[in-house]
A and B are shown apart, each in its own frame.
Chain A
Amino acid sequence: MAELFCIGTLQGASGYPHAELCAKWAFVAGDAWELVEGEESGQTQVDVPGEDERYTVWSHPIDVHYTTRSLSGWPKLVFQVFRQDMFGRNELYGYGFVHVPTTPGTHVLEVATWRPAGTLMDQVWSFFLGATPQLKSMDLIHNPSDRFRLHTIAMGKIHVTLSIAVRGFEKHGVSL
Chain B
Amino acid sequence: MSFFSVTVTGQIDTRISTTSIANTTSNTGQIGYNSPSYYSVNLALALIHHANHRKVVVSGLEDGLTQMARASTSTTFSQAMYSSGAFSRTCVWNFPIDVCFKSTNPFGWPQLVVCVYGLDEFGRDVVRGYGAVRLPLTAGRHVLYIPTVVPRATTPFNAFLSWATGRVPEYLDPNFIAQSKGREVTRVKSQGALKIVIDIATKEIDKFGLQVSASSRRI
Report the separation of the CA atoms of residues A167 and B107 in the bound assembly, to the nearest whole angstrom. 12
> How many whole Å from A33's CB to the nearest CB in chain B?
15
A84-B109 Cα distance, complex, nearest whole Å: 32
B3 to chain A: closest CB distance in Å? Answer: 14
B190 in contact with A104 (CB, 8 Å)? no
Interface contact A51-B18, CB-CB below 8 Å: yes
Chain B residues with CB under 8 A of A144 = none
- Please encode chain B, from 170 to 194, with 1 for each CB lying within 8 Å of some chain A CB and 0 for all others: 0000000111110110111111100
With contacts A9-B133, A44-B184, A46-B187 known, is A104 near B212, CB below 8 A? yes
B216: nearest chain-A partner, CB-CB: A104
- B210 near A167 (CB under 8 angstroms)? yes
Contact A166 B134 (CB under 8 A): no
Q: What's the least CB distance linking B153 to chain A, in Å?
A: 11
Q: A22-B184, A55-B21, A105-B214 are in contact. Are A50 and B107 (CB under 8 A)?
A: no
The 8 Å CB contact of B138, one of A5, A15, A62, A105, is: A105
Cβ B132 vs Cβ A61 within 8 A: yes
Q: Of the listed stretches A35-43, A68-76, A121-129, A132-140, name the one at the interface; the rest are far from the partner chain.
A: A35-43
- Number of CB contacts from chain A to chain B under 8 A: 160
- B28 within 8 Å of A (CB atoms): yes
- Bound CA span A168–B149, Å: 39
Contact B188 A45 (CB under 8 A): yes
The answer, among B131, B146, B181, B186, for a CB contact under 8 Å with A46, is B186
* B residues in contact with A54, CB < 8 Å: 22, 26, 28, 30
Q: In whole angstroms, how far apart are the Cα atoms of A165 and B214 in the complex?
A: 10
Among A8, A14, A48, A157, contact of B134 (Cβ-Cβ < 8 Å) = A8
Number of A residues contacting the other chain (C-beta, 8 Å)? 51
Kindly state whether residue B147 has any CB partner on chain A within 8 Å.
yes
Report the Cα distance A51→B38, complex, angstroms: 12
The closest CB in chain A to the CB of B109 belongs to A7
B183-A43 in contact (CB<8A): yes
B17 located at the interface, meaning its Cβ lies under 8 Å from any Cβ of chain A in the complex: yes
Q: Which residues of B approach A to under 8 Å, CB–CB?
A: 17-19, 21-22, 25-26, 28, 30, 32, 34, 36, 51, 105-109, 111, 131-134, 136-138, 146-147, 149-150, 152, 177-181, 183-184, 186-192, 208-217
